[in-house]
Chains A and B, each alone.
Chain A
Amino acid sequence: MVAAIASDHAVRGSTLTLREVSHSFDLEGQPLPVLDRISLQVGRGEFVALLGPSGCGKSTLLRLVAGLDTPTAGSLLAEGREIEAPDPSRVVVFQDPTLYPWRTVRSNVALGLEARGLLRTHGGRIEDALRLVGLTGFANAYPHQLSGGMAQRAALARALVNDPKLLILDEPLGQLDSLTRIAMQAELVSLWQRSRFTALLVTHDVEEALLLAGRVIVLSDRPARIKAEVVNSQPYPRHRGDPHFVELRREVFEQLGLDEAW
């Protein structure tokens, strides 16, 4: 079923380059620096996780990558071209699912295809995406009839139908129970392996970052700087009990300043 979404995918994911990206907000006249000279190079089809304390600026960074905001300083490039505006090749799964309450789950998932006029030709993907996230039985439900986790899965499906070159995930599994979460992590990995899009994942969960990503970027407290980078080149599927995995996890916790707990 994953194959159907990924099938017509000849082009692999896009590259992403961040050059000295800084961003600050204006908070009651005072500048609030949020990002501090972030430089990052993400290769084609790479899976990178961003890990950092709450409020450090992860979502802000993702909004810049999506093209929803422009940075105060520095530049962002996708496929070598400056990111100036949102583009359907870069799809975001926001931290808050924000489904449209006036649309059913199916028609929420159809949003991207409808916006680009692809409903007629690519409509079949909708059912595939719904099946992938386990919401087939709720296709005709309205968002107020869903649980928080189901809404989040619907938001994931809404992103996946668009066959993105860069998938931007902002804690997409945050509200799921641990069992569903593990299943969805496995689905994400296999989807990514088949479609080979580039993935940028923000998460609070160290294990999740290490299970999914090839590279984990550890960010500092606000304003966020890149503190460390942990590479995990283990093959998939990865196992939490694996000694090398445990070692990597310890390393990341150490970078987060939690080494004494382990």
Chain B
Amino acid sequence: MSSVIDEVPRPSQKSGFGFFESSTTRSLIGGLSVAAAWLVVAALTAFWPDKPESDWTYTGSFAIACAVLAVALALAAFAGVRFGAFQRLQRLSPWLFALALFFAAWEAVTAKLGLLPLPFFPPPQAIVEVVIDDWGRLAEGIFASARLLATGYFLGAAVGFVTGVAIGWSRLAGYWIHPVLRFIGPLPATAWLPLAFFVFPSSFSASIFLIALATGFPVTVLTWSGVACVKSAYYDIARTLGATQRFLVLKVAIPAAMPHVFVGLFMGLGNSFAVLVVAEMLGVKAGLGWYLQWAQGWAAYANMYAALLLMAFLCSGLITLLFRLRDRLLSWQKGLVRW
């Protein structure tokens, strides 16, 4: 190992402290200490016996998982010396270290010491157990939620976008739609829930309607304001160059309004998550929201945590996706917020 360190380039070598000042060496040490921390979590889980009278079947599996992670992190740390791609991991080191501490503490106060009441606070191995034993139903839940969300969101975003452009562009559309929007728009979509479940043929279609409604309102308002905010000079230029009405809408108004539209799409996505979970809990007998409800009914709190975790991954993944899309479409803008 010393030979590896000897070979490390040391760009900023200074007096006796040069060794520690080399950034590569520092990142190697950082990476290895993160690996060590995870190894400690593994050892603590494996060798500190669980509290008597508890029967956590997956304690060993959790310990092995932590150990595998530790080995992987150590390998990545060494790889980082040679390959730039792994050096990005270095930025995550503090977080990975903090997570190790968190897991160690969690493991200690639940499985080992039993300080927290059961079944409300299961140990990490209980969640591993859920993911391994119940993955079929969890996957089904993710699929159902994603399908419902995607259908409702795209429908709402599309209708909202078209409506927004119509209000922003046509006086007649503005006259008729604006009052309706003002009156009904601010109403939370969930307020329609009882009515929707009663009017629509299935709870699935009712939920699509509700999600579309929750998405559509902010998308409409922001698209409209985006179109209304377009500088009149943009239209003047296009008109003197022979643009038709169609060109003015499609090639001037809409691209100019896109930054606003994206704000609406982000707000709509946030709203749609909230409505999705409520709709699944109250009507649709599928999806992660329903799984949460079901787990709570059976006091299966580990299942609930697992579902919550997956839901967090789903939501944050979708937001990230939308940010990526925006960065790609609006690359012409200066000073975009990075997600």
Contacts and interface: CB of A to CB of B under 8 A. Distances in A.
Nearest to B239: A86
Contacts of B238: 111, 115
Contacts of A94: 233, 236-237
Interface string B49-70: 0000000000000000000000
B239 A68 contact: yes
A89 B17 CA distance: 74
Contacts of A143: 332
A158 B252 CA distance: 15
Contact of A98 (B231, B258, B332, B333): B231
A254 interface: no
A100 B233 contact: no
Most B Cβ at <10 Å: residue of A67, A94, A111, A142: A111
A86 B256 contact: no
Contacts of B240: 66-68, 86-88, 90-92
Contacts of A91: 240-241
A40 to B, nearest CB: 20
Given A68-B236, A100-B252, A100-B256, A112 B241 contact: yes
Interface stretch (B7-15, B242-250, B303-311): B242-250
B258 to A, nearest CB: 7
A63 B232 CA distance: 13
A112 B240 CA distance: 8
Interface in B323-339: 330, 332-334
Interface majority SS (helix, strand, loop, mixed), chain A: loop
Contact of B247 (A85, A96, A115, A144): A115
Nearest to B254: A102
B231 A102 contact: no
Contact of B237 (A85, A111, A144): A111
Interface string B168-198: 0000000000000000000000000000000
B332 A101 contact: yes
A86 B242 CA distance: 7
Contacts of A116: 241-242
Contacts of B242: 86-88, 112, 115-116, 162
Contacts of A111: 237-238, 241
Contacts of A68: 236, 239-240
Contact of B334 (A67, A87, A96, A144): A144
A114 interface: yes
16 contacts: A63-B236, A66-B236, A67-B240, A68-B239, A68-B240, A90-B240, A96-B233, A98-B234, A101-B332, A102-B330, A103-B255, A111-B238, A112-B241, A114-B251, A115-B251, A143-B332
Interface of B: 231, 233-234, 236-244, 247, 251-252, 255-256, 258, 330, 332-334
Interface of A: 63, 66-68, 85-88, 90-92, 94, 96, 98, 100-103, 111-112, 114-116, 142-144, 158, 162
